[in-house]
Structure 1
Amino acid sequence: MEVRTARTEDVDALVSIHQVARRTYYGDLEIPDDTMELREAYTISIQAADRLVLCVDDADGRPAGFLSLGPPARLVGLYVDPAHWLRGAGSALHDAGIAAWRAAGVTEGHLEVWDGNERAKAFYLRRGWQPSGGRRDGPLGRDFVDLRLRWPSD
């Protein structure tokens, strides 16, 4: 599975992937339409020199998932269209993100995962991420939990 840098023309697909994945893990939680906000955020992230957005494409060449890295060493989001779960897209994106950090000399990454998203928590824990102790309020009485991953410098 090939990972590539996201392009501005991918923004609408990224928004769609974000929204469908979020609806899947939040279930019946009512979420206001944030299409415009997400479109603006992903456009900025793709264009910003201090951020990195990576994509994997499906067989038809459309984005099937993406990863967004931001400063300082924060995995801002990793979203895969549920139609492409369990096909390696998430793993390919995760590994490419870690490789980008390592190439930049980063030795520790952080991310937040919603405590109610068991699938995502298990994904990160299998890859060595550990709770750092940080938490903040989240929906449905479940916090967002900060996870940390450390690796040796090369």
Structure 2
Amino acid sequence: MKSRMEIRRARRADVESLIAIHQHARRTYYGDLATRDDTEDLREAYTVSVDAPDRTVLCVDGDAQVAGFLSMKDDRLVGLYVDPAHWQHGIGGALHDAGVDVWRAAGVTEGRLEVWDGNQRAKAFYLRRGWEPDGGRRPGPLDRDFIDLGLQVSGPESRPA
């Protein structure tokens, strides 16, 4: 990993890397449940997201490729994925903070996201950063729901240490 992390807007040329990271991370936390080949669906979704003026896709470059990315629309964090080979390098935290900064600049006061209750790593990541369950949920795999989390976004002082 580069010693200095740079976050930039994703480009169309990054779409294949976004797909690969999304699928690799998902296989890591879903295990055998992640068998469906959704490459074409993801290609379409990420191409639209990268091109759409009302969406934000930020990424961090690793040594020779994208190592992680964040996708947002309005007040919703749609996804934050880091290639498992780059976990524990601060990429997820840096992307999260950059996304919160985008919300602040846009005047968003509360961020929203959905996380699978079976993904303990992701849940702990968000809870450490001040996200709180808001009571919303929907059914998920392995009898574990997807749960809704909210984050108060008020100013620079609201960022947890």
| Contact 2:103 2:153 (C-alpha < 8 Å) held by counterparts | no
Count matched residues: 152
What's 2:66 paired with? 63
Q: TM-score, normalised by structure 2?
A: 0.92
Q: Does 1:94 align with 2:96?
A: yes
2:20 paired residue number: 16
Q: Deviations over 1:88-135 (max 9, x none)?
A: 110110000000000011110000000000000000000000000000
Measure, in 2, the Cα distance between the counterparts of 1:66 and 1:43: 14
| The one of 98, 101, 106 aligned to 1:104 | 106
Structure 1 unaligned spans of 5+: none
Residues 130 and 147 of structure 1 are in contact (CA less than 8 Å); yes or no, is this contact kept in structure 2? yes
- The 4+ residue runs of structure 1 with deviation greater than 4 A are none
Letter paired with 1:86: Q
SS in 2 for 1:59: coil
Are positions 1:26 and 2:30 aligned together? yes
Match of 1:118 in 2: 120
Query: TM-score, normalised to structure 1's length?
Result: 0.96
Report the AA paired with residue 50 of structure 1.
D
CA contact (8 A) 2:10 2:59 kept: yes
Equivalent residue, structure 2, for 1:75: 77
Structure 1: distance between partners of 2:8 and 2:152: 24
Which residue of 115, 128, 131 corresponds with 2:130?
128
CA drift of 1:31 comes to 2.7
- State how far apart, in whole Å, the 2-side matches of 1:89 and 1:46 are: 19
- Equivalent position amino acid for 1:79 in 2: Y
Q: CA deviation at 1:152?
A: 2.2
The superposition leaves residues 34-69 of structure 1 with CA deviations (integer Å, 9 ceiling, x where unpaired) of 000000000000011110000001022x10000000
* Long gaps (5+) in structure 2: 157-161
In the alignment, what sits opposite 2:159? none
Q: CA deviation at 1:30?
A: 4.4
Q: Percent identity?
A: 68
**Separation in structure 2 between the aligned mates of residue 141 and residue 57 of structure 1, nearest angstrom:** 36
